[in-house]
């Protein structure tokens, strides 16, 4: 009986270790020069939309009218939602909660261009450079603050997997706080 319990505990531990490794559960903050920032990636404020979506067109027109000098003296926050081709429910929940957070609390900053978001499939070769930069090879949520030539990065992947699906409000509060801290 003890041996069966030991084997079960070992297998459960092994599976949990595998899941954490596969989801790239790193919580380190990194600082680097913005000069190595990736410029080739496409910015979005929400998941890819169909051509019938007019909010993206309106947002682009409004952003164009804002003077760049108004936001040049303020930090820019970049959110990277990484995912793999075969997505799990938690990965989808992270993306949806991130969209909800941006739409609810930061719509103005998104329109101003102070918050930029990219949703990237790490399995796509076009996203290889950015996923390698942030060392994400599975699902992940990376938030980067760019200000005066410096980048500060936080990885909220672990919090996303822990809370986004079953405790969305908790995840939204953590994400909201991180974005607010980086905007100041």
Q: For 92-115, how does the pLDDT look when each residue is reduced to its tens digit (9 = 90+)?
A: 999 999 999 999 999 999 999 999
For range 50-76, the mean pLDDT:
50
For range 149-164, the mean pLDDT:
96
Q: What is the pLDDT of residue 73?
A: 86
User: CA nearest 19: which of 91, 125, 96?
Assistant: 91
Domain encompassing residue 78? 26-183
Is 139 within a domain? Answer: yes
Is 14 within a domain? Answer: no
Tell whether the model's pLDDT for residue 78 goes beyond 70.
Answer: yes
Q: What is the pLDDT of residue 9?
A: 52
**Residue 88 belongs to domain with CATH number:** 3.40.30.10
Q: What is the pLDDT of residue 120?
A: 96
Is 5 within a domain? Answer: no
User: How many CB atoms within 10 Å of residue 76?
Assistant: 21
Is 16 within a domain? Answer: no
Answer for the pair 44, 119: CB distance below 8 angstroms, yes or no: yes
Is 15 within a domain? Answer: no
More confidently predicted of 138 and 31: 138
Is 18 within a domain? Answer: no
Is 120 within a domain? Answer: yes
For residue 81, list its beta bridge partners: 119, 141
Answer for the pair 171, 160: CB distance below 8 angstroms, yes or no: yes
More confidently predicted of 90 and 19: 90
Tell whether the model's pLDDT for residue 165 goes beyond 60.
Answer: yes
Query: Residue 71 — pLDDT band, cuts 50, 70, 90?
Result: low
- Percent of the chain exceeding pLDDT 90 equals 60
Number of separate domains in the chain: 1
Is 49 within a domain? Answer: yes
Tell whether the model's pLDDT for residue 79 goes beyond 80.
Answer: yes
Q: What is the pLDDT of residue 55?
A: 37
For range 29-40, the mean pLDDT:
44
How far is Cα 69 from Cα 54, in angstroms, rounded to an integer? 27
Tell whether the model's pLDDT for residue 12 goes beyond 70.
Answer: no
């Amino acid at each position: 009986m003890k041996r069966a319990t030991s084997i079960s505990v070992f297998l459960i531990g092994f599976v949990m270790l595998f899941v954490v490794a596969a989801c790239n559960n790193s919580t380190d903050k990194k600082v680097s020069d913005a000069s190595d920032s990736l410029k080739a990636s496409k910015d979005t404020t929400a998941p890819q939309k169909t051509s019938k979506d007019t909010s993206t067109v309106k947002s682009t027109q409004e952003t164009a009218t804002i003077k760049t000098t108004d936001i040049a003296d303020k930090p820019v926050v970049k959110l990277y939602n990484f995912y793999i081709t075969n997505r799990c429910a938690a990965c989808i929940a992270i993306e949806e909660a991130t969209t909800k957070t941006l739409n609810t609390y930061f719509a103005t900053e998104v329109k101003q261009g102070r918050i930029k978001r990219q949703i990237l499939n790490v399995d796509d070769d076009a996203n290889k450079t950015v996923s390698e930069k942030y060392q994400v090879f599975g699902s992940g949520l990376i938030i980067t603050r760019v200000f005066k030539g410096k980048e500060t990065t936080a990885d909220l992947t672990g919090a996303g997997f822990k809370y986004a699906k079953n405790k969305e409000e908790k995840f939204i509060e953590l994400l909201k706080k991180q974005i607010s801290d980086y905007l100041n």
